[in-house]
Chains A and B, each alone.
Chain A
């Protein structure tokens, strides 16, 4: 086991500044009202830097910078924009460990994940959209012999992006890479729980981007997010978060007649058919890992497989093995390379999870393992840790219907295919789902029948850049990832051209 040194320690891979201002127009800009807020690491609960507390004045200044930069960036040849995105990816690759340490310290997730998932995925995302924009073509329609409709892609201009705290760098990159590839300038507001790591990333790549193309305004939702989301000066708002704020952002957007993309979470069902346990082989082992994915990133994933539906024929056998697998999860210091589950991202998140553990018990769900706050020692004593928890209950319970956003899975049995689909779809949400079976016909039919934007089939929690990601039902509007994402950040310009000298004859 190796332990990375915490930021600021003498042998650390990286260190944070003691203060971060806004990043506007290619330079740090102090907040207009001169206020800052403390940023604690969830690993220890101790503050490690302070952050500019942005307000409407700062958002306006960032929008000024973005509007100044957008026209030239939009006209920059795609080969050049793609080259810059590739250079950003290269720079991130060169600093992979530094970024991983920064992200782990900021968010509390294990360094194993930031090294192997968050950062490699973010790097690949820039490369994917660098390639996608080069390959994108408009189209022409031959209306008649002398009339042609040309369709060009044009950038929207200046877009607003509000980033969640569960993958502070990766979720920012999911939004930045397609927006920048498409030729937009961005004003981005990181989550107030995790505002620092994106600044560390920016410090590594700032020289690659023209000033004003990416602007970061920190602050609280009500003070900085609201003026950004409600501004008539943004052509689009992209938000990842929860339903009430999603509705509020749509409401603001409706006042300005602007489009939104919203990713608002889910309550993803992970369905295990009887034949999974048909052999004690590699695939059975993989399915157990698929079950245990509920603890990935401490469960702070919008697609956390937080409902496990297990067919009755192998229910006991599979669940016993799943409990054993869950109990092998190594909880510890997030900077240890062997740690599998780290700290919840904030104190309020910890409190919310504990409140759900309580109502789950009250509703009659049975705790099969875990069920409590994890009390760790030493410097971790002040951090926010929860035991991986398996509840057994039924789908009407609130722990089956609400995204706890913690390492908590709620398990229920099902009798047959139809009941599996009925339970899986009995949810307000439809973001992700998992289907596990050795029968391709069952897999296909289940995948098509489940009302969710992504159905992982015999896998879970894979996030390749070229697979579309987004929600059905109350899980949101629009998609992220995949080249179709470029459309979310582009206008369609139609030139309808007549090559005929002849008049119509109407007038």
Chain B
């Protein structure tokens, strides 16, 4: 990464997902994501009205997503323990046709947010996980 370039992001949003988010923002006000784990619809990102889901000391804020047409950033959260297992990957919030589940806001629209993942590049990893080598055992 060259000086002056923006820092790489951990989480991106596809344009299709951004369109849904703009609709949901219009209907429900400010939004947040919490990435789930476990069975059934685990590993899916859950979208809630901001503050509906209480985050705490056991959570990590991975990104503040800036979406064109939405005035405030959308926080993307995950449990900190889960994040330790995910931190080497870059996430993209996408959307697919589906029924959803959980209490995520988009499900009644016949779509479901989906987290797609790829490995961070070495440059991204160095920028996003600078203390990792110190904490690795």
Please report A residues at the B interface, Cβ cutoff 8 Å.
37, 53, 164-166, 191-193, 220-223, 225-226, 240-248, 251, 263-266, 301-302, 346-349, 351-352, 355-356, 358-359, 362-363, 396, 398, 401-405, 428-429, 474-475
Contacts and interface: CB of A to CB of B under 8 A. Distances in A.
A220 B107 contact: yes
Contacts, number: 164
B114 A348 contact: yes
28 contacts: A37-B110, A53-B108, A164-B40, A220-B100, A221-B102, A221-B107, A226-B103, A240-B39, A241-B41, A242-B44, A245-B101, A245-B102, A251-B53, A301-B39, A348-B44, A348-B97, A349-B98, A351-B112, A351-B114, A359-B118, A398-B89, A402-B42, A402-B85, A405-B43, A428-B81, A428-B82, A428-B85, A474-B79
Given A165-B40, A220-B108, A243 B98 contact: no
Contacts of A193: 99, 101
A241 B103 CA distance: 11
Given A243-B79, A352-B43, A362 B86 contact: no
Interface in B13-43: 34-43
B14 to A, nearest CB: 13
A355 B116 CA distance: 6
In this complex, which of B39, B100, B101, B118 has the most chain A Cβ atoms within 10 angstroms of its Cβ? B39
B108 A403 contact: no
Contacts of A164: 39-40, 101
Interface of B: 34-44, 46, 48, 52-54, 79, 81-82, 85-86, 89, 96-105, 107-108, 110, 112, 114-119
B87 to A, nearest CB: 11
A12 B110 CA distance: 29
A266 B39 CA distance: 6
Contacts of B46: 244-245
Nearest to B37: A243
In this complex, which of A220, A263, A475 has the most chain B Cβ atoms within 10 angstroms of its Cβ? A220
Given A355-B114, A359-B117, A428-B82, A242 B99 contact: no
B44 A352 contact: yes
B114 A241 contact: no
B37 A242 contact: yes
Contacts of B101: 164-165, 191-193, 221, 241, 245
Contacts of A429: 38
Given A398-B89, A404-B43, A405-B42, A363 B104 contact: no
A429 B99 CA distance: 26
A403 to B, nearest CB: 5
In this complex, which of A243, A248, A362 has the most chain B Cβ atoms within 10 angstroms of its Cβ? A243
A241 B37 contact: no
In this complex, which of A223, A349, A401 has the most chain B Cβ atoms within 10 angstroms of its Cβ? A349
A242 B38 contact: yes
Nearest to A193: B99
B102 A348 contact: no
A222 B108 contact: yes
